A and B are shown apart, each in its own frame.
Chain A
Amino acid sequence: MTSAPLQTDQQGLDVRSRFATSKVNPRDVLLFPDGLPGYETTKEFVLLDVPEQAPLKVLHAVNGSDTCFLVVDPKAVLPTYRCELGSSDRLRLGTDDDHTLVWLAIVIVSDNGEVAVNLRAPIVINPARMTGRQVMPNACVYPLRFVIGQ
């Protein structure tokens, strides 16, 4: 992984990832209070949208970490996708209206080139509070690795 360190100036934050170079406004920073499983201390991310990489987006850390994930709207992968949030997730996201939430699934590329999407534990963002969380609903029926065909 070879991201350049984060630079700050009056225009905002420069985020240079392996996937994109973007200038982001500090107001666009999303807080993940619990980090993500495996990245518990990484709590601030931005969501980078590079049109030529659609439907992919990049969830990139901005706290000096170069951690980043390729993410995609799970409905773009599986149009019928629907997951029910648990009460602790809803509380932590600070919402009682699921319709305003943004759902993203992390893309996993194996060493053999297989592309899969994690539909079991999606990332859910509450734009009203700029807060996010990777959830693992107990009733979720989708696989951890939903493989995308060749």
Chain B
Amino acid sequence: MLVFTRRRHETIMIGDGIEVRVLRVGRDGVRLGIVAPPEVPVHRQEIYNQIRDANRSAADTPHAVSAIAERLRRHT
């Protein structure tokens, strides 16, 4: 892992088009600004992990598909 020391308003460049700027340094967190080309997705990692976990739960859905469909029909 590369490790840098950066102060407020200083940036790190990744490749040609990705810029990570330190906007604010607080006691509990650092506020970052990211500039990236439109084809590069930028996400908080914990959101990705939550979605991954939700997908794994969803793929393990049990057989009762008719009951699930019925519940959705009642909801709508």
A-B contacts, 16 listed (Cβ < 8 Å): A38-B51, A54-B73, A55-B76, A56-B68, A69-B59, A72-B72, A77-B72, A90-B38, A91-B38, A91-B39, A107-B58, A107-B68, A109-B62, A109-B64, A118-B51, A149-B71
Interface: A13 (CB within 8 A): no
Interface: B75 (CB within 8 A): yes
Residues of A within 8 A of B (CB): 1, 18-19, 36-39, 52-56, 67-70, 72, 76-77, 86-92, 106-110, 115, 118, 120-121, 134, 136, 138, 144-145, 148-150
Most buried by A among B40, B48, B56, B76: B76
In whole angstroms, what is the CA distance A121 to B51 when docked? 7
> Chain A contacts of B61 at CB under 8 A?
69-70, 107-109
Q: Is B65 a contact of A19 with CB atoms below 8 Å?
A: yes
> Chain A contacts of B72 at CB under 8 A?
55-56, 72, 76-77, 107, 115, 148
In whole angstroms, what is the CA distance A56 to B56 when docked? 18
Q: Is B48 a contact of A37 with CB atoms below 8 Å?
A: yes
Q: Is A39 a contact of B39 with CB atoms below 8 Å?
A: no
In whole angstroms, what is the CA distance A90 to B50 when docked? 22
Most buried by B among A18, A37, A150: A37
In whole angstroms, what is the CA distance A39 to B75 when docked? 29
Interface: B41 (CB within 8 A): yes
Q: Is A150 a contact of B71 with CB atoms below 8 Å?
A: yes
> Chain A contacts of B74 at CB under 8 A?
149
Q: Bits for B37-56, please: 1 = Cβ < 8 Å to A, else 0.
A: 01111110001101111111
In whole angstroms, what is the CA distance A55 to B72 when docked? 7
